[in-house]
Structure 1
């Protein structure tokens, strides 16, 4: 053994991730970034949209596409876009992008964002800083609210990023899904948990905001089941699968021509780590309030994968990927297996936050429109009202 190799081993052997087995490097997302891009815009066109487009979603989408082309190697910086960006949610997600695609700039950008004008951006920056430095997260918030009697004890919106892998002719292309664009296409995703089943079950709500003809929302409910274990005093590892039964719209778009549908099982998996913390909460019931200490999920991170049918017809007609045109299905469903033309994978993050602007963390203030077993509860009041447009 050469001295150089011995020193290399000595430097790394104490890490629990150290090893020589390349099988450990194969994940849901591995090698996807090396596929050719679905987005045919030039670097200059992407930069123009990133700086000047009126839509925060389109600006973010362009920046993420740009940096997955290794934009840092040709002189672009995440910091430049961060400093000119007016939308706080885009700025918060740029911290995540820097960690993914511009790691040498990530630490300085996170430190810069700790002084951001937005409390939410500051909180995200402190969370990223805690992970980078491997120190406890010191949040901007220390108090929250909890509503007794709801279907779930915590409802936590997620930011989701990743890729769709789709064949075009004989070539597989990667579609870079930035967080706001993912939510635009697939709906806002929210993780919902109950205290008594926290270690075995998770319910995911997807919301397509304003999707109905009258401007109301469309919801889908996915129950996940699996196994969890404590990895430290406050960290928990979760490994979950779902094969939830859903309605598949044969037209290619959700709620388009409800007379032409079939029931299918979708298939998806997720691996996550949740980190808990104790906070002072104001417990609310009809007619009274109670103040106590409650353990909540402070933040979560992980990976996901699944399969889908992406409607090529709708893409060709509109020139873009429209909301509701990527429907999750399962390749083991014999009748619809030929329609599987999309593999979706990526990462997600979420943290407890103040969504209603009252200065307090919302533990379960956001109502879930479903039950733990996957049944839709459209009014969110346990009446099990159906979707009026499905």
Structure 2
């Protein structure tokens, strides 16, 4: 099964409080560490078997509660567009010179759900020299879940890199309790910034491509965070305390697209609702609708096959968790965010057919799209959905968490702001003007 499918367990779907362990007849919870080796193996086997074989209709009742998930349906029938063998994936996951390609091999192998996937991920977490490969691999371990995943994550709780240690703590806590946990480092704000927070996002995406007009043939690419960032841009969630419950900016940059070395800026203003019935968190559903040039070539800033103007929509929903120790304007800061997203895209199949993955995962080699445009709609052939996570990190290595130090080139309304002074380069412009840029 795909590692990004929802866990449709009875507890997750129950409308009422399941009660405490004591109410269920137990004096206290049974900890994973208290289980013997055989008990752990049995628990892990039961977990994996249940996820792989259970028919959620017999768990959730009404199939409309889960079986209408388009991504769930597509995942069961789509063929993998990454045709590397398992041996090739294992080799490249550990030895490819490009960290994004090592990570892509790790996520593809994990998505195939092999028995030794967690072992391979653990080896990469231990040995890889790229810290983002390491923490993204930790996330892949969490996605696979089960007792073996918890035990693997716990091995890195005291890692020499504080960020690896905290991600390990966070993912372990999520698997055991459903909520994240953090370390005790202090936090600091960078004065004079447009945003109160600039949260680096990890995004894992399943890209389902319609291969012909019959609607009977679908392909799938499971994009790891660094591969997705290379194609569509590295994203930062940029909230301000005063407005975060109704809007925020997702600021994206693509490196390596412009010949002058400048980042390709692509900002999205999201608006929506947030539920604040709990003091320590907010549950949100936001949507974005922004004007964009649509490149029929399937590559950003490439007008070789024509350009159309369209309004591109995207949806994101999830939960942010607050940190009482970090104060911004007398309010708690967002320490961590997690959620799901979905939208539409255009993949030029002729551009990627027969190409090695290194030539597919290139800057800008994929564009977002819409169905609601008479010219662009018929070219829309990809359904994009996935999960995201982001937490505040210590980016300068001084032992203090940085709340808003990340470089983002956006005003509070999503307009491009190259010098980050809060004033737009050009009012209303939210994406780089392709007519002034030259592709390599």
C-alpha separation in 1, matches of 2:118 and 2:325: 43
Where structure 2 has 5 or more consecutive residues not aligned to the other structure, the ranges are 1-9, 20-58, 427-431
> For the structure 1 residues 28 and 323, does the alpha-carbon distance in structure 2 shift closer, same or farther, using more than 3 Å as the test?
farther
- After alignment, is 337-346 or 249-258 more displaced? 249-258
Partner SS, residue 194 of structure 2: coil
> For the structure 1 residues 209 and 358, does the alpha-carbon distance in structure 2 shift closer, same or farther, using more than 3 Å as the test?
farther
Q: Which residue of 1 aligns with 2:62?
A: 21
TM-score where L is the length of structure 2: 0.77
Partner SS, residue 213 of structure 1: coil
Contact 1:276 1:298 in 2 (8 A): yes
Partner SS, residue 122 of structure 2: helix
> For the structure 1 residues 142 and 119, does the alpha-carbon distance in structure 2 shift closer, same or farther, using more than 3 Å as the test?
closer
Partner SS, residue 155 of structure 2: helix
Task: Say which of 64, 72, 75 aligns to 1:33.
Answer: 75
Q: Which residue of 2 aligns with 1:54?
A: 97
C-alpha separation in 2, matches of 1:212 and 1:74: 37
C-alpha separation in 2, matches of 1:238 and 1:330: 23
Q: Which residue of 2 aligns with 1:198?
A: 244
More strand by share: 1
RMSD (CA atoms): 2.8
**Shift, 1:75, TM fit:** 9.3
C-alpha separation in 1, matches of 2:207 and 2:151: 31
> For the structure 1 residues 239 and 103, does the alpha-carbon distance in structure 2 shift closer, same or farther, using more than 3 Å as the test?
same
Contact 1:142 1:279 in 2 (8 A): no
C-alpha separation in 2, matches of 1:367 and 1:63: 28
C-alpha separation in 1, matches of 2:93 and 2:277: 40
- After alignment, is 119-128 or 84-93 more displaced? 84-93
1:266 equivalent in alignment to 2:307: no
Q: Which residue of 2 aligns with 1:5?
A: none
C-alpha separation in 1, matches of 2:305 and 2:81: 33
Q: Which residue of 2 aligns with 1:114?
A: 157
1:328 equivalent in alignment to 2:348: no
1:349 equivalent in alignment to 2:352: no
Q: Which residue of 1 aligns with 2:344?
A: 307
**Shift, 1:192, TM fit:** 0.8
1:165 equivalent in alignment to 2:212: no
| Cα deviation 1:247-268 (Å, max 9, x = unaligned) | 2233332122499533211111
Task: Say which of 115, 130, 135 aligns to 1:72.
Answer: 115
| Cα deviation 1:184-216 (Å, max 9, x = unaligned) | 111101111111111111211111123210111
**Which residues in structure 2 correspond to 1:80-119 (within 5 Å)?**
80-119=123-162
C-alpha separation in 2, matches of 1:118 and 1:255: 38
C-alpha separation in 1, matches of 2:271 and 2:164: 32
> For the structure 1 residues 143 and 294, does the alpha-carbon distance in structure 2 shift closer, same or farther, using more than 3 Å as the test?
farther
- After alignment, is 298-307 or 134-143 more displaced? 134-143
Q: Which residue of 2 aligns with 1:125?
A: 168
- After alignment, is 73-82 or 336-345 more displaced? 73-82
C-alpha separation in 1, matches of 2:323 and 2:119: 38
Contact 2:255 2:363 in 1 (8 A): no
Task: Say which of 303, 311, 332 aligns to 1:295.
Answer: 332
Where structure 1 has 5 or more consecutive residues not aligned to the other structure, the ranges are 1-7, 284-291
C-alpha separation in 1, matches of 2:18 and 2:73: 24
Partner SS, residue 195 of structure 1: coil
Contact 1:29 1:346 in 2 (8 A): no
Q: Which residue of 2 aligns with 1:287?
A: none
Q: Which residue of 2 aligns with 1:4?
A: none
C-alpha separation in 2, matches of 1:135 and 1:107: 13
C-alpha separation in 2, matches of 1:222 and 1:313: 29
Contact 1:245 1:266 in 2 (8 A): yes
> For the structure 1 residues 280 and 172, does the alpha-carbon distance in structure 2 shift closer, same or farther, using more than 3 Å as the test?
closer
Aligned residues: 372
C-alpha separation in 1, matches of 2:164 and 2:405: 21
TM-score where L is the length of structure 1: 0.86
**Shift, 1:340, TM fit:** 0.3
